[in-house]
Amino acid sequence: MPSPIAKDLIDRIKNRESIIGIVGLGYVGLPLMLRYCAIGFRVLGIDIDGNKVDKLNAGESYIEHIPARGIAHARETGFEATTDFERVGECDAIILCVPTPLNKHREPDMSFVINTTDAIKKYLRIGQVVSLESTTYPGTTEEELLPRLQEGGLEVGNNIFLVYSPEREDPGNGKFETRSIPKIVGGQTPGCRKVGIALYEAAIDRVVPVSSTKAAEMTKLLENIHRAVNIGLVNEMKIVATRMGIDIFEVIDAASTKPFGFTAYYPGPGLGGHCIPIDPFYLTWKAREYGLHTRFIELSGEVNKAMPEYVVARLTEGLNQQGKALKGCRVLVLGIAYKKNVDDMRESPSVEIMELIRARGATVAYSDPHVPVFPKMREHHFELSSVPLDGESLCGFDAVVLATDHDSFDYLLIRQHAKLLVDSRGRYRSPEANVVKA
């Protein structure tokens, strides 16, 4: 049976009387905020970025696929954004949606999670639930959050509650919305799990409880490792097939006709986004603590990490066949978001391709309708704006590299006017004299 405090909190959530606090207002936090606002909760958003807070309070959006009208409507229903962490004391639920990157040694950088927990712990009170949604290694919730929540004398499972519920956002995927993506919930105690289920059942169509926070953490990693390993496999198959003169996309389409035992994964120029290039290495790092070596994960990481180099090698080969060296050429990269039809630049392989091209002495430019100006990034620096695509501009480049296949590109125009077209996404299936498959 849940404690009286847990029962009271569950009742408050069910009656829409609770205040939801969301810490981290990015690709995960904003859709979640909109969902809770839409069903009648009052939501307080907290972020360290004052510019984001000001835009949200003005009813503006800074993420392309989240329309400003949604933010404005949330403001009308009581949503407020702030940089003041002291205000977590007003909230009944605090949902943490902060980044979990890797450091330069490919080890987990837990600073955002730890610093955020340290920032809120002094303001926590009896009758709250804290939920971590950031992807991380199994044991994070128990090892890092649990002791911090109890430093001030609160008791997790009795008068404050701790859960882990991994985010499952897929920016730009119109087939799913926040409410329709099943939610995994693991609690630090059975009572915590009951509170977590109530928190998410209010907003999500299907909640899937698991036995512990560790099981929930491992579930998220398995989902992303499954994709990373299979993408690594198909990227390696692409290299082999290309050398043999076989179209790997034709092979995948043919294999996909098998009604059982095969799932189609498609090759590309490398992995991007916040999850797939990063999350598998959280498990490889944690596995070493147990004396284990995760060979499949690390091998797929090596294959996927090498794909930008492969694309540039194919670019160099194509130029050589035209009697040109890459050094001194002008190269246009098409699409610099990590996936098509979004403006999300996190871990985009396109940017690494741009850096490799520049390092080899070529002049690089880009065109991406979703990213009009190259943004400020921690590790990548280009003073560039998106080049408009027309016949004249395309003819001004020695080569064009298709890195991200946005639907809005005019692929016929590109093929007609590109002197050399390096296709890393399989958009050009029929043989063309000016097309090099990569």
Task: Report, as residue numbers or ranges, the catalytic residues.
Answer: 275
SS3 93: strand
Query: Cα separation of 425 and 238, whole Å?
Result: 11
SS3 144: helix
Query: Cα separation of 260 and 262, whole Å?
Result: 6
Q: Contact, 318 vs 329, CB < 8 A?
A: no
Percent helix, strand, coil in the chain (nearest 5)? 40, 15, 45
Q: Contact, 194 vs 13, CB < 8 A?
A: no
Q: In what order do the strands lie in the sheet with 80-82?
A: 80-82, 42-46, 19-23, 93-96, 128-132, 160-164, 183-187, 207-210
Query: Cα separation of 134 and 279, whole Å?
Result: 10
* DSSP code of residue 310: H
Element (H, E) at 191: helix 190-201
Q: Contact, 128 vs 156, CB < 8 A?
A: no
Q: Contact, 142 vs 111, CB < 8 A?
A: no
Total H helices, total E strands in the chain: 16, 13
Element (H, E) at 271: none
Query: Cα separation of 189 and 411, whole Å?
Result: 54
CB burial readout 292-323, b (16+ within 10 A) else e: eebeebeebbebbbbbbebbbebbbebbeeee
Q: What is the number of residues in the chain?
A: 438
Place of tokens 């080049």: 387
Both tokens assigned to 248: 């790997």
